[in-house]
Structure 1
Amino acid sequence: MVKRILFVSPTGTLDNGAEKSITNLMIYLSENGYQIFNVYPENGHYTHRQYIQSLLKKNIKLYPLQTIKWWWEEAPGDSLFSKEERSLFYQYNIKQIRDIIKNEKIDLVISNTVNVFQGSIAAACEKIPHYWLIHEFPDREFAYYKDKINYIFDNSDKVFSVVGGLTETLSELTNQNSKLNSFVPYSYLSDESLISSDKRRIISIGRINENKNQLELLEAYAKLNRQEIPLVFIGDWEEDIKKQCDTFIKEYSLRNVHFLGFREKPWDEVTDADICVFTSKSEAFSLVFVESVLKGVPSIVSNIKGYQSVSDYFQAGKSYNLNDTDELKDRILELLDNFDDYKSSFLTIKNNSKKLYTVENCFHSIISSLESLQENNEKSLAALDSLLGSVIPSHEIFDIKSQYISIFYSKKEEDFTEDNCYKFPLQYMDQIFFQVPIDTGKLRIDLSELPVYIESVSLKTSSNLEQEVFITATNGINTGMGLLFDKNDPQILYSIDGVDSINYVFTYKLKDIFKLMKENSILSEISNLHSKHNQLVSDYQRLSDTYSSIINSKRWKMSSKIINFFRRSK
């Protein structure tokens, strides 16, 4: 029986269903005698600490890796540095995983998402079995992996995809269905009862972004014209989509819409009088919909395959046609007007679902396969062993990626100390959510220990009434195109003693200093600064020459003698 398993995880956070589900699988396996190891990208996400703590206390050994891009080159996400440097870092990460396999005597590697490939290469080079778990439909931002289906199946001993529509879709894309199995994503939910209330509300839980499609719910809410009923969004957001929502709210004078931001336990904010609405454009097996079923909350979902898979599994939920805001409005009105009947029905489904939805049932196919794992068939990639992460040249990019952002906080009259500090890995752009004590008066943000060039930076309160906090002092130079820190220990200071918030979000983006010759690059900006400096020197010299010519002229000397005469006369 396989005993030592290395998981390769996509984000190292708890803000998405895939990570929550596979975290539960790792914990279950660890509790049942398996030795579990986990590789993930080091990051500054606000759930990262919770992710680490939840795994460490279950004796799971963690390997955080510094990365530039962790997902496939074609996958969603920013592409920083040059393609050559990203390839170098991919190679570096593969070598690190290969070293872990050898040092920890790993029996099996499991890639937790279709978006990470490094584990498949490392396993092939080290000649051990590899499983691939797939949570994403091959459409929209994940359509890119259709072209990688053959690679995925060729370099996996087994492929497990989310039950329902996703498994059906993948079976149509491959001729290796003997390797294809399915599983049900598992979300652990406490048995705590919902808050009791007699006030109806409409709730949406999830990160506000283009795919979650919350703007569609806002449009239906405007058509509903029932502003005595609050619409509450629980979850953090992408800035551009949040601005679109804010613009819509203002345009239609919607007065009872509330954004609570990220909540570690979102169901603590939901009452037994609420209904939930989920409007995603693409999901595989929505865990937040699962959670609404397990909590007995009447729910409406769009008619996409991922929601349909959950509905079929639990026999729960009402659907509307995606993009049909009139139908969504009618569904909401139907639940509101017949709430007691729907609530009773959902409570019955809740009780039945708890018997069905257990970690053993959900991951049965994966767990049973571990008991009968066959010897690995050597993958073709083994022939490229010497080229795939075996030797890594030195590069300054590795030094840069070892840096951290440090956020110090203190009372107004106190000094900053290491005891009151958060540390986050330096990225090339990031959004860091953090919380400070209520009596905090000032913040100091150290942007690594190296000289850096920041293209954009902002500090805002993370609340419904977002407020920008302006820089009090900095040792950087404002170039007009960003903040240039030309010496070690770059710092920004903020005064927050007059700000009514304990929750903040710090956003920054580094200047792209690696494409040196392109237009508007750092070289061209330094050249512009040098030109401005030369112009100032030239202007100063011209003024100095003009001044000298004036004070040395006969007219100036005569005027000075007259003025001095009258001064002496006084």
Structure 2
Amino acid sequence: MKILFISPTGTLDNGAELSGVQLMSYLTSCGHNVTNVFPTNHHETFQKYSHELSEIQVDPYPISSLSWWWPDAPNSKNYEQDILAADFQSQINDIRQLISSKEIELVISNTVNVFTGALAAASEEVRHFWLIHEFPFGEFEYYASKIPLIEQLSDAVFAVQGELYRELENHFSDTGKLHSFVPFTHLKKVDLQTGVATRLISIGKLSERKNQLELVKTFHQLESDDLELVFIGGWDEDYKKKIDNYIQENQLTNIEFKGYQNEPWKFASEKDICVFTSSLEAFPLVYVESILNAVPVIISDNPGHMSVKEVFDAGEVYPLGNIEQLELKVKNILSDYVFYKEKAKSAQECAQNEYTVEKCSQTILNSITEIPYSQKPLTSLSFLLGLDLEEFLKNNLFEKSIRVYFERETSGFSENDSITLKLNNKGSISFPITSDVKSIRLDFSEIRSILQLDLVDSDNYEIQTNAHRYKEMFVFDNIDPQLILIPKETINSISLSYIYYPFHSKGLQQVMESHYDIRKSRDNLRSELFELERQHQSVIQSKRWKIATKLINIFRRNS
């Protein structure tokens, strides 16, 4: 069967993608022909993601997009609604063409956060399955109101087994469409490092939802000079700053950030304790991996953690937010590590027997052959979905104009003292200036854009703008693009030529991608500098350093 996956992120830093890759691999091994659609992105795992798809004989199909998730989903980019609508139409068009050209028989959306595949499948009258990894409350509560539409656009919906499945049973009007599955992660055999001392480790991206600051505060409470805390994973910049500030304010040492790692378990040792403090998960695969690696683990009692514990019965549980109880759990394991290590090894043996891709994917595999196509109400409106809008958008969708305001000796900028000129994608403008004009403000259409400007006699003007300026390029990343020209001497007219790139155009995307790469390099250097400063502080505040410094001072005085 020819199957098309719609993936969440096109990266390898989240459980939905990791389990999705394993499911696609299993389907190809069963003889199915699989294509995967995902958004192009700048993540450090993007190239590896595409390579892994090729390795498992899955045809990768990246799509350039402004926003991939529902507009009201968390972390969605804030663009104007008309631009977003146009971009989603373009995505639907690409997916519809792919369904048609590859004769796709089933579309699978591998997160509740994507919807363009469901609309494309309904338009092309092919089956659609929705895999849901997210709870309809907390971070993803936005989708609760969309569940009736999700039902209508699906032939089957698969929710992660356990708490999430039971929660969604209360939301579905037709529970016959709702099925459960277990996300599967393939864990390569890893020989854990030989540990010298027991450490606390946390694997996963640092974020508000992952709640690692709770672990840092617990580490602070423990007040142990010998204990180390190691974070393995990337981070959200704002949340990392919050953790860094706490570490600095409390002068904490023995905390290490290793950043994103392709194989994080290579950095774990046989004497470590895993601690996962997330406020909400669905079926966290990193918790499963700790069980398969026989590492003693402490988890918060969020619904996703409890779903995993329901399957494997492994790990110690503390009430989310209760630092005193988490501290107690850590102390218990530290005081009798051999006992807890043996418990972890017993859980590992059971998990290895039960946790297989065949068992985890069986409900989905059976449904591929058993569940038929059902007519969708939206199919009759398919002619509205998936227009090829690139040229139309470029030339017709927005009424583009330049509003020119004049500030005079006797009055400021005013609507009553302005002119409106047509703004094309490329062109030139010229208008006269009277002697009493102090400055000229050019307001462009309220769209994020780039303006490539060639101003005649530009040395005769002071230029003020709310754009990011790169030589002759003005990057307007806000919806109120302005340019103010202040003549240095008396002038009779202004003439300029320009090339205008609205945000949706490919030209702008290429420039913004280059700008993004520069900013990312700068941010990485800042993070490295902070880490070096933290390590320096850790060294000079250590007991060994203080003793060595005292000895040196003694020798200096006696020499």
Given the two structures, how large is their TM-score scaled by the length of structure 2?
A: 0.74
Aligned twin of 2:383: 386
Q: What's 1:62 paired with?
A: 60
Q: Which amino acid in structure 1 is aligned with residue 3 of structure 2?
A: I
**Which of 303, 308, 332 is equivalent to 2:330?**
332
Q: Contact conserved, 2:37 with 2:60, CA < 8 A, in 1?
A: yes
**Is this contact kept in 2: 1:227–1:254, CA < 8 A?**
no
User: Which residue type is aligned with residue 387 of structure 1?
Assistant: L
1:92 and 1:177 map into 2 onto residues whose CA distance is 33
The answer to whether the 8 A contact 2:200-2:275 is kept is yes
CA deviation profile, 1:232-290 (whole Å, cap 9, x unmatched): 01111111111111111111111111111111110000000000000001100011100
Identical-pair percentage = 39
Instruction: Give CA-to-partner distance per residue, 1:195-253, whole Å, 9 cap, x none.
Output: 11131100011111100001111111111111311100111111111111111111111
2:77 corresponding residue in structure 1: 79
Q: Give the secondary-structure state (helix, strand or coil) at the position aligned to 1:394.
A: helix
- Cα separation, 2, equivalents of 1:67 and 1:257: 38
Tell me how far apart the structure 2 counterparts of residues 111 and 196 of structure 1 sit (CA, whole Å): 42
Name 1:422's counterpart in structure 2.
none
The 5-angstrom pairing of residues 188-203 of structure 1 reads 188-203=186-201
Partner of 2:126: 128
Question: For the Cα contact (< 8 Å) 1:14–1:47, is it kept in 2?
Answer: yes
Distance, in Å, in 1 between the alignment partners of 2:345 and 2:196 is 17
Q: Quick one: distance in 1 between partners of 2:154 and 2:325?
A: 43
Cα distance, 1:80 vs structure 2? 3.7
Matches within 5 A, 1:431-510: 483-487=468-472
Structure 1 residues 59 and 334: alpha-carbon distance in aligned structure 2, compared to 1, 3 A threshold: same
Equivalent in 301, 304, 308 of residue 302 of structure 2: 304
- Given candidates 159, 162, 175, the residue that maps to 1:161 is 159
In structure 2, the residue matched to 1:353 is 351
Which residue matches 2:51? 53
Deviation at 1:78, TM superposition (A): 3.7
Paired residues for 1:216-255 under 5 Å: 216-255=214-253
Q: Quote the offset at 1:99 in angstroms.
A: 0.5
Check 1:175–1:10 CA distance in 2 against 1; reply closer, same or farther (3 A cut): same
Candidates 122, 146, 170, aligned match of 1:172: 170
Structure 1: gaps of 5 or more residues: 399-449, 454-476, 491-509, 516-520, 539-570
2:364 maps to amino acid: I
Q: How does 1:282-321 map to 2 (within 5 A)?
A: 282-321=280-319
1:522 alignment partner AA: P
Give, in whole Å, the separation in 2 of the partners of 1:231 and 1:266.
Answer: 15
Indicate the residue corresponding to 2:320 in structure 1: 322
How far does residue 451 in structure 1 lie from its aligned partner after superposition? 5.7
Task: Evaluate the alpha carbon distance shift between residue 204 and residue 478 of structure 1 in structure 2; reply closer, same or farther with a 3 A threshold.
Answer: farther
Match of 1:366 among 359, 364, 388: 364
User: Any runs of at least 4 consecutive aligned residues in structure 1 with deviations exceeding 6 A, and if so which?
Assistant: 477-480
Deviations 1:32-69 (A, max 9, x none): 21000111111111001111001112221111111111
SS at match of 2:258: strand
The two structures, once aligned, show a CA RMSD in angstroms of 2.0
The CA distance in 2 between the partners of 1:65 and 1:323, in whole Å, is: 40
SS in 1 for 2:53: helix
Name the CA shift for 1:192/1:38 in 2 (closer, same or farther; >3 Å). same
> What is the TM-score with the length of structure 1 in the denominator?
0.72
Rounded Cα–Cα distance in structure 2 between residues aligned with 1:478 and 1:50: 44
| Residue 343 of structure 1 pairs with residue 341 of structure 2 | yes
**Residue pair 2:276, 2:300 contacting (<8 A) in 1 also:** yes
Q: Distance in 2 between matches of 1:373 and 1:392?
A: 35
Q: Which amino acid aligns with 1:281?
A: S
- Taking the aligned partners of 2:60 and 2:463, their CA distance within structure 1 comes to 40
Q: How far 1:154 moved relative to its partner?
A: 1.3
Per-residue deviation, 1:393: 5.4
The Cα offsets for residues 87-140 of structure 1, whole Å up to 9 and x where unpaired, read as 011011001111111100001000010000111111111111100000001112
Corresponding residue pairs, total = 428
Tell me if the contact between 1:302 and 1:320 (Cα under 8 Å) persists in the aligned partners.
yes
